Chains A and B, each alone.
Chain A
Amino acid sequence: MLGQNRNFRRLWGAQVVSELGDWFYTLAIYNLLLQLTGRAGSVALALVLQVLPQTLIGPATGVVNDRLRRKHVMIAADLGRMLIVLCMLFVRSRGTVWLVYPLLVAETLLAAFFEPARSSIIPNIVEREDVVVANTLSSATWSINLMVGATTGGVIAALLGRDAVFVLNAISFLASALLVLSMGFAEPHTEGAHPLDARDLVNFSPVAAGIRYVRSHARLRSTLFVKVDKLIIGPSWVLFTVTGQKESAVRWYGLGPQRGAFLGMSLLLGARGLGALLGPLLSAPWAGHWIPRLETAIFWGYLATAAGYGLLGTARYLWQACLFVLLAHFGSSIVWVFSTTLLQLRQKTGFAGACSPPTSGYPC
């Protein structure tokens, strides 16, 4: 498909460059915050500001992408994010560190408009029978980008410094915008679409309908509760940043402590990405769509998560920590992917969106 479909090739290329840039950038932001404030709470606050606005802006992004040309939405989101990332270069001291937070919120909001537009145009640019393959490729690309982006981001930051990472991320957004600009495809949803109405932007009724539906179905409630495994994903960002700075910092001849910390953190996140990639990849052929096996795999996934994080406290070397993180996210990604599959198998199609927790950039 990549070889034959020019539009999909460009969309996929835009995804690769912007997601790689995103992982570089995320590492750089957390490292910057910890370095300037010395508080893990500042990293946690950054993460909160990156995930909560996406939940609140959900209805608005759907309406905007249904009323406007998605190509324009994506280009505007990319260019906006390029400027925002460049503004991060102004954060140089404790006095200017506050600037990170509004910039993060703005960047997150634009990403929340970009992602639904990207996934929504896939049916417009590929044949109907190729949609599943295209979605699968996009999903696998995300996991690989996490692994590659987190690891190489650390190496680049260690070699070139944090500012270089911000500039590279800004360039990646520009490249993404240019790739999307060069795409040519029809957008029939805009024909006869109603003009944007402010009330539509804050319409949470589909979400409320989804909550009512889940409350009335006991089996769905228990499957949704499985998503409690995400409690481990938030702490991982904070803890990897802190351990990277302290216990897991790479010490190498000529490598400064800040860059060593960056590299240590990125290796831990790379291990996490590898675990997230391997978990579903190796276990999905065994489980398939057979519910008892999916349920059994979720149980073992939880145990692997508990074992991986439980053992992390005993790790004396960076390679040991990476191994335990890999094990933890091998299990966590199984819980994530298989519980989503269980949800999809147990719910009516019409409630698929309302019942599925938003994932965006933070699965596994």
Chain B
Amino acid sequence: MLTIAAGAYIAGRFVDWGFVARYVASAAGLLMLIPAIWWGLKVRGTS
């Protein structure tokens, strides 16, 4: 719940600062690569 609230708040601030919503979405998508890489390395390390 905290992550949902934090994510919504940050996105809202960026849009209000003038960033285009679609580009904020793209940035959020790229940020998802961080946990993807972390998880991939972790799974590879334990297998």
Residues in A lying within 8 Å of B, measured CB to CB = 39-45, 47-48, 51-52, 54-55, 222, 225-239, 242-243, 246-247, 292, 295-296, 298-299, 302-303, 305-315, 321, 328, 357-358, 360, 362
Contact A309 B39 (CB under 8 A): no
Contact B7 A225 (CB under 8 A): no
- Which residues from chain A contact B2 at a C-beta distance below 8 Å? 52, 55
- In the A-B complex, the 3 residue pairs with the closest CB atoms: A309-B29, A44-B12, A313-B26
Residue in A232, A246, A312 whose beta carbon sits within 8 Å of that of B7 in the complex: A232
Contact B39 A40 (CB under 8 A): no
* Chain B contact surface mostly: helix
Contact B12 A45 (CB under 8 A): yes
Contact B35 A233 (CB under 8 A): no
Which residue in chain A gives the minimum CB-CB distance to B24? Answer: A239
Write the nearest CB–CB distance from A45 to chain B, whole angstroms.
7
Which residue in chain B gives the minimum CB-CB distance to A58? Answer: B1
* Chain A contact surface mostly: helix
The 9 listed contacts between A and B (C-beta, < 8 Å) are A44-B11, A44-B13, A48-B8, A52-B1, A231-B6, A233-B7, A236-B25, A238-B12, A306-B33
Contact A234 B3 (CB under 8 A): yes
Contact B29 A228 (CB under 8 A): no
Contact A315 B22 (CB under 8 A): yes
Interfacial residues of chain B within 6-42, with CB under 8 A of chain A in the complex: 6-13, 15-16, 20-26, 28-33, 35-36, 38-40, 42
Contact A226 B3 (CB under 8 A): no
Considering residues B15, B16, B25, B40, which has the most beta carbons from chain A within 10 angstroms of its beta carbon? B25
